[in-house]
Amino acid sequence: MATIFDFSSRQVFVFGGTSGINLGIARSFARAGANVAVASRSQDKVDAAVAELVELGSDSRGYSLDVRDPEAVKTALATHSEYAAGIDILISGAAGNFPAFAKDMSANAFKSVIDIDLLGSFNVLSAALPYLVKPGASVINISAPQAYLAMPMQSHVCAAKAGVDMLTRTLALEWGPMGIRINSIAPGPIADTEGFRRLIPNEKIAEQTRRSVPLQRFGASSEIGDAAMFLCSDAAAYISGVVLPVDGGWSVAGASAAALAMAHKPQGK
């Protein structure tokens, strides 16, 4: 797959980069010449992702860790930065999601998503700061439309991703003077991903969702990779603190997207 971007010899670290959208981003950077490290909980997923990225020509390494464990995140970043001599591009995309009404969630259920998505992002970003190349490093948080569209059965994800986007904007203020840019990407419904399978469980809902996207199709992980490469490239050198929807115009639909989620399962009495 040809790309207009050149990230030769750049060091990229993708948290949650072993499947779905984040692995798509990792592949995009590897195809553009970067050396891409990935981290997630499952050692098997880490090994498979690293093997695939090496196949694409990347000098890749993998780390098995939970982003909820700040010490494990710090250790992986320190180990990797010593090997790679710093990190040029950081992607924070580890996340969890399950559809559930707030009334059916325990405090621990709500907390599990906040801990992975929001606190996990803080753990990753704060531990990476000493190793980010200054000036010049670029950081992407993977957000979701839930950050700005209220959706039933997504109170935990809506709260967590809205927090992630405010982290993006706050750190753009705090890290800008060091020459570090930080942005969020909010993917729309992306085909063949775990998030899609969890939220769009049957053909009927899939077809309704497809029609609610102005471009009338689902996205591909490679299209999120293209957006990430743009935001980390010199073409975006003056862009920091933005939340970029990459969703075929889906977020423009706003309330109708939420109505769709509502149709997924009627709220009980």
Binding site for ligand HXC (CB under 6 A): 95-98, 100, 104-106, 108-109, 112-113, 144, 157, 189, 194-195, 198-199
Q: How far is the CB of 131 from ligand NAP (least distance, A)?
A: 18
Nearest C-alpha neighbor of 94 from the set 19, 201, 175, 185:
19
Cβ atoms 13, 87 nearer than 8 A? yes
Signed CA dihedral, 115, 116, 119, 123: sign only: positive
Roughly how many angstroms between the first and final C-alpha of the chain, as a whole number? 51
Count helices and strands in the chain by DSSP H and E runs: 10, 7
CB of 141 to ligand NAP, least distance (A): 8
Neighbours of 48 (CB within 10 A): 16
CB of 37 to ligand NAP, least distance (A): 13
Cα(55)–Cα(99) distance, rounded to whole angstroms? 36
Q: Which does 21 bind (CB under 5 to 8 A by kind): ligand HXC, ligand NAP, none?
A: ligand NAP
| Closest residue by beta carbon to ligand NAP | 20
| Residues 82-111 close enough to bind ligand NAP by CB under 6 A | 93-96
Residues 191-230 that bind ligand NAP (CB under 6 A): 193-196
**Could you list the residues that contact ligand NAP (CB under 6 A)?**
16, 18-22, 40-42, 45, 66-68, 93-96, 116, 120, 142, 144, 187, 189-190, 193-196
